[in-house]
Structure 1
Amino acid sequence: DALTGLPNRRYLLERLGAEWTRHRDAGQQLVVMFLDLDRFKVVNDSLGHHFGDQLLVSAATRLRDCLADKCMLARLGGDEFAILSAEASVEDAIELAERILSAFDVPFSIGDHVVFSSCSIGIVSADDDFHGEPADLLRDADTAMYRAKNGGRDSYVVFNQELRRQVSDQMQQEGSLRAALKKDDELVPFFQPIVCTATGRLTALEALIRWRQPDGRVLTPGEFLPAMEGLRVMGRLDLYMLNRIAVILAQPGLAGWPPVHVNCSSYSMTREDFADDVFALLQQHGVAPSRICLELTEGALIAEPEIARRTMQRLADNGVSVVLDDFGTGFSSLSYVHEYRFSGLKVDKSFTFGLSSNPRTRAIVRAIVRMAESLDLRVVAEGVEDAMTLAALREIGAGQAQGYYIAKPMPLAALVEALDSGKATQWVAPSEKM
């Protein structure tokens, strides 16, 4: 490799093939580790490629210092490295991974800058259950690395049979999802009302995708979206749903509908042109940006925080509001509220369960509501399943709520029928204090 002086991908694969033959013929242990620097693109984009190259050289030196004599370190390209370790066990590889993660806890001093850069590591062993080709080991280690990265970075994951099964199932489901995106009858939006806690009036709707299967089953988002997170198909699914909602909102008879919340994946938030796609889609159907609200989870901001920040700024500047979903469940929710252009928070349902009977939970939700008020953010409480919870939210001052007590997600026809019957005026009974 011209930059780091390490073996390159081609040499690694040749060496891997030779070690694989020894493993197969003599039962020699063989471990492959795949490493990727976390947030390296942010360093490149903010400080320049020359600085990024210096970071790669420093990272290569630090990795080399962690290795034993019988390990080979290679640079695969970009910020990706691999370690080939013969006569080593998975336990040895885990010990090495922990040593590397500890080494990366120390910041890099490059010129006048001090940079923190962790890494994500995937580990795979050529055990008796492996029947692929040598290059498949590198692929499996890469898969494990992405699991580590999606799990929060700065960690390692060991590839095993369960992960191999999950990957196989994921590939099959991804193929089915791509096929469904080319049809009009499999992926459909259901709508769940969001109401004012005090008046019971409809204030917004959340569009929730349903996937109709050939066998008649209907999958909810929780049954298929987690396995798709981070994949390119999620970007297509986001735009598919936005287009479906825009087509509905563009109907002349629905001009009085409230804003519709649409969930947005982490994949879309890593695309620089996502905001342009949203604006173009809304303009195509003649839908005002104020009629759409995007919902993001904390995970959607982790992958590329700078890109996400710019995207949210552009969306907000052009009238598309953005809400932080599942608030309170992540590690850095408060910092995200401070740094990003959110217009509201959705309190996770784990805080609404037991709200009417648990003083500690009530105190936490009250604190969230007061903080949101001081920041001029609206609050929606999820998971309202009984009258006592709704009454507690009214008493606390949470402005909006949704949940099965108010209404279950319903298809478009059922929603239109409900709205025609006057539900928009009052979906649930108003507060007795009103």
Structure 2
Amino acid sequence: RAEDLARVAGKLLEAFESPFEINGQPIRSGASLGLTLYPIDERSASGLLRNADAAMYRVKRSGGGRFCFFEPGMTEQATDRLALEADLTRAVERGDLRVSYQPVKALASGRITGVEALVRWQHPERGLMLPSLFIPLAEDCGVIHELGAWVLRRACEDMATLAKDQDLRLAVNISVRQLKHPQFEQRVLEVLEQTGFDAGRLTFEITESALFGGGEVAADTVRRLAEHGIRFSLDDFGTGYSSLAYLRQLPIDKLKLDPSFIGDDTLSSTDGAIIAAVIALARSLGIDVVAEGVESAPQVELLALHGCDQMQGYLISEPLSVEALVAWLRGDPSSLGEPAD
């Protein structure tokens, strides 16, 4: 009966609430359960597994840590997801993705200090797909490693096309799965050597929650890459775990304030206090602060008042192709970027 299965699923989830001890070390884990009933939902073993997998995927998409029963329609969604996974794998293999670049500007000097590489996928049937739609898919199907390596190589190659006097930093987003891959460090160093891009101009951006979930393996990779001159930035700072241990234990060079803190032209007293506290903390540690999602002059004034170092957003520029970026840096007003996200 469904109620019996739900009771067993609840006990399984409870078993994961406490850490497991392995070799004397506490290891925290979690579970996402997809449930289906025989013979109500399906009679064949393959069909039951397909149903359970579809239900589990629904749980994972909603954040995990619970169970979900199979419902009609999930199979169709799972089939569509498998088709999209196959399309993404082929797109990565053929290099059908593209990279756009959003400039980062210093508040004090007004100088463009760098760009953030943003991958885009122009699906032949579904149109332009943004990272939030396909990066989680790439992580689930395992193609994130090939995708990440392709983006890094393309971005390093594109930066080589800029004028020699444009000493811009390049920021590339990475996931915790990339950091935990045993060959990630080697792949990064190979790309830098083959493209001739200076490791000292490269910054990897990773979210707080991803770094928190990566454990000591990810932290060790960060430390080793930092020894080669690569810098690291905590993305969406203030929305995740915000553990000060990161700043104390890891070579973090930059904090990126989440756009939610500056969503309005007038900051609330709470948001203003948080921004001021983050900037004060970062300054005492010699870390820069970048505000994301800047779209208006009043936002710039408020950020400058609180002493923010850098900013990026549509007020400065939308994401640009490398050709448009070159023209934009030269002051060509005819350069066009992509539509707003």
Q: Which TM class, normalised by the smaller chain length?
A: 0.7 to 0.9
1:176 aligns with 2:87: yes
- Provide the rounded CA distance (Å) in 1 between the counterparts of 2:228 and 2:112: 25
Residue 292 of structure 1 aligns with which residue?
202
Structure 2: tracts of 5 or more residues without a match: 334-341
Contact 1:322 1:344 in 2 (8 A): yes
Secondary structure of the corresponding residue to residue 294 of structure 1: strand
- Provide the rounded CA distance (Å) in 1 between the counterparts of 2:25 and 2:127: 54
Q: Which of 193, 198, 215 is the equivalent residue of 2:103?
A: 193
Offset from partner CA, 1:349-382 (integer Å, 9 cap, x none): 1111126342211111111111111222211110
Structure 1: tracts of 5 or more residues without a match: 1-87, 424-434
1:327 aligns with 2:234: no
Task: Count matched residues.
Answer: 333
Secondary structure of the corresponding residue to residue 369 of structure 1: helix
Residue 51 of structure 1 aligns with which residue?
none
Deviation at 1:241, TM superposition (A): 0.5
Query: Higher mean Cα deviation, 247-256 or 412-421?
Result: 247-256
Deviation at 1:247, TM superposition (A): 1.3
Secondary structure of the corresponding residue to residue 281 of structure 1: helix
Cα distance change on mapping 1:207 and 1:99 into 2, 3 Å: same
Residue 276 of structure 1 aligns with which residue?
186
Please tell me the residue identity of whatever aligns with 1:189: V
Please tell me the residue identity of whatever aligns with 2:275: V
Deviation at 1:229, TM superposition (A): 3.2
Offset from partner CA, 1:159-206 (integer Å, 9 cap, x none): 44455444322221121112112334x311111110011221101101
Please tell me the residue identity of whatever aligns with 2:6: I
Residue 14 of structure 1 aligns with which residue?
none
Normalized against structure 2, the TM-score is what? 0.86
Deviation at 1:396, TM superposition (A): 0.3
Deviation at 1:271, TM superposition (A): 0.3
Secondary structure of the corresponding residue to residue 385 of structure 1: coil
Cα distance change on mapping 1:128 and 1:194 into 2, 3 Å: farther
Deviation at 1:138, TM superposition (A): 3.6
1:359 aligns with 2:266: no
Please tell me the residue identity of whatever aligns with 1:123: G
Please tell me the residue identity of whatever aligns with 2:81: Q
- Provide the rounded CA distance (Å) in 2 between the counterparts of 1:403 and 1:110: 45
- Provide the rounded CA distance (Å) in 2 between the counterparts of 1:294 and 1:373: 20
Residue 36 of structure 2 aligns with which residue?
125
Deviation at 1:277, TM superposition (A): 0.5
* Correspondences of 1:153-232 after superposition (within 5 Å): 154-161=65-72, 163-184=74-95, 186-214=96-124, 217-232=127-142
Cα distance change on mapping 1:142 and 1:217 into 2, 3 Å: closer
Q: Which of 81, 98, 115 is the equivalent residue of 2:26?
A: 115
Residue 100 of structure 1 aligns with which residue?
12
Residue 327 of structure 2 aligns with which residue?
417
Query: Higher mean Cα deviation, 413-422 or 160-169?
Result: 160-169
Contact 2:35 2:67 in 1 (8 A): no
CA RMSD of aligned residues (A): 2.9
Residue 298 of structure 2 aligns with which residue?
388
Secondary structure of the corresponding residue to residue 117 of structure 2: strand
- For the pair shown, the structure with the greater C-alpha radius of gyration is 1
Cα distance change on mapping 1:324 and 1:166 into 2, 3 Å: farther
Contact 2:16 2:29 in 1 (8 A): yes
Query: Higher mean Cα deviation, 257-266 or 152-161?
Result: 152-161
Cα distance change on mapping 1:123 and 1:297 into 2, 3 Å: same
- Provide the rounded CA distance (Å) in 2 between the counterparts of 1:164 and 1:239: 32
Secondary structure of the corresponding residue to residue 252 of structure 2: coil
Deviation at 1:152, TM superposition (A): 5.9
- Provide the rounded CA distance (Å) in 2 between the counterparts of 1:340 and 1:287: 24
Secondary structure of the corresponding residue to residue 277 of structure 2: helix
1:238 aligns with 2:135: no
Cα distance change on mapping 1:410 and 1:368 into 2, 3 Å: same
- Provide the rounded CA distance (Å) in 1 between the counterparts of 2:47 and 2:213: 26
Secondary structure of the corresponding residue to residue 229 of structure 1: helix
Deviation at 1:388, TM superposition (A): 0.3
* Correspondences of 1:5-154 after superposition (within 5 Å): 88-89=1-2, 91-106=3-18, 113=24, 115=26, 117-126=28-37, 130-131=41-42, 133-138=44-49, 140-141=51-52, 144-145=55-56, 154=65
